[in-house]
Structure 1
Amino acid sequence: MISLTILMVAVAYLFGSLSSAVLISRVFLLPDPRTAGSKNPGATNVYRLGGRVPALLVLVMDILKGTIPVYGSYFLNIEPLLLGLIAIAACLGHIFPLYFGFKGGKAVATAFGAMLPIGLDLAGLLIVSWVLVVFITGYSSLGALVAVSLAPLFTWLVKPLYTIPVAMLSILIIIRHKDNIVRLLSGSESKVWDKGSIKE
């Protein structure tokens, strides 16, 4: 089981290292999201640079980067705590992509994808939390922070067995958003619809 887990951790990291934002931007002839806009290679920045279609494709691909290795590991009967490590590996691949100079995004969509196998009820709660916060405030980062902060609680209500793995994942995403937290507190964070000189 240990050797299988190590293999799946490696697979998850390599899967996560596929930078959807960079690849989709190249297909649509958009600026490199690592050097344009907020310089964050994620769906929100691609939306600002190229609109809904490329952003949606990035979002779907980033979600699948988390879902496929975790779901595959689940069917291999890897225990929940180790599934958490595999999910973290997928997110670390997104944050520090091997194929793209270790310069990646915030891994919110990949983390969501990693939680998706737990159930559609959890997914629904996370989506509603994010949408409500973004609709009210306009801050995608705040929506992500609220959703991942509530994720362990939602998981405990839905499938308590996975609470600790989800909490591990949530901590990683919150740490990754440290700069956003500083900007939110100072009132300098960019909103979803902002253009021009922005930070994310």
Structure 2
Amino acid sequence: MNIYFSFKEIFSAFIVLFAVIDILGSIPIILALKAKNKTISAEKAAIFSFVILVAFLFVGNSLLALFNVDISSFAMAGALVIFVLAVEMIFGIEIFKNDGPTDSATLVPLVFPLIAGAASFTTLLSLRAEYNILNIIIAVALNLLFVYFVLKKVDYVQRVIGKGGVYVMRKFFGIILLAIAVRLFTANLSTLLDSLK
């Protein structure tokens, strides 16, 4: 496995993960948890999320091999998940239900499923089909540094951006995700079709 450093790949992977994690869009959820006197540890949330995401980045392929699924097929499935997320963000509808247990605000629902959930997992393996693993790990770390900052200063961030700003960012990144989903799907479809020849 060749390891190389690329600013372009880091930036691209960062933007994709930033849109999928959507910590700014989760600010209303975080504030609602705090209003219910739930304690949220920014440090634990960032560390746990990093460990889970990086671990899945490495063992995800082995899990796929266990089920005899190749990376291109999974990337196409991931593209469909990203597409649905984009539709949610653009049209303001809920397709993915947050139906997990809610007894722990830091681990559940913050780390899972809001930060390190199904969408993040599928996105990571979709990115691995295109980018070097080192650049993806750096992009994950940068995203979780941003997550840490937002969780630490959530009240301040909301005041600065405002409800309108959060709304606009969700729509903007929804459109970016939609474009990424289409590109991922078409790129991996051609790879999959070539393997069948």
Please classify the TM superposition score into its range, dividing by the shorter chain length. Answer: under 0.3
Structure scoring higher RCO (CA < 8 A, sep ≥ 6) equals 2
TM-score (norm 2): 0.27
TM-score (norm 1): 0.27
Higher Cα Rg: structure 1 or 2?
2
